[in-house]
C-alpha cells in the first residue's frame, strides 16, 4: 500500500461506507475510532507486505476455496457480478455437499 492509498482509505466517502457496512451509527465514538484508531491499526498491518513476499503465490489456500468479498469500499459498486461470481452453481467443482451426509 502507498501513503495515498492509506489516506484514501479514510476519505469521508469511505468512512460513511465503512459505517454503513458495519451497521453502525455515525456517532462520536464511531468517528473517534475511524479517525484516531483505524489508521494506526491499518498502518500496523503493513508489516504483512514484507513478510508475505514470496509466500502468497506459493500454494493455494489450504481448503481450496476463496472467500466472497464485499464490494470495493472506494467504489460502492452495484455490479451484480460481484455478488454472483462465487455462487456454488458456478463453481466448477460442483455443488457443495455437507460432510457426514449421504454415507449410508
Cell matching residue 86? 462465487
65 binds other proteins (CB under 8 A): no
Q: For other proteins, which residue of 3, 29, 81, 96 counts as binding (CB under 8 A)?
A: 29
Subset of 69-88 contacting other proteins (CB under 8 A): 69-74, 82
| Secondary structure (3-state) at 35 | helix
56 binds other proteins (CB under 8 A): yes
Grid cell 472467500 in the structure block, residue: 67
Closest to other proteins by CB, 41 vs 78, is: 41
Distance (Å, rounded) from C-alpha 32 to C-alpha 39?
11
Amino acid at each position: 500500500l502507498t501513503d495515498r492509498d492509506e489516506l484514501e482509505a479514510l476519505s469521508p466517502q469511505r468512512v460513511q461506507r465503512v459505517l454503513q457496512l458495519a451497521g453502525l451509527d455515525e456517532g462520536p465514538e464511531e468517528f473517534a475510532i475511524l479517525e484516531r484508531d483505524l489508521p494506526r491499526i491499518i498502518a500496523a498491518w503493513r508489516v504483512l507486505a514484507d513478510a508475505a513476499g514470496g509466500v502468497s503465490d506459493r500454494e493455494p489456500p489450504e481448503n481450496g476455496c476463496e472467500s466472497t468479498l464485499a464490494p470495493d469500499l472506494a467504489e460502492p459498486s452495484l455490479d451484480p457480478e460481484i455478488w454472483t461470481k462465487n455462487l456454488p452453481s458456478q463453481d466448477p467443482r460442483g455443488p457443495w455437499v455437507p460432510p457426514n451426509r449421504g454415507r449410508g
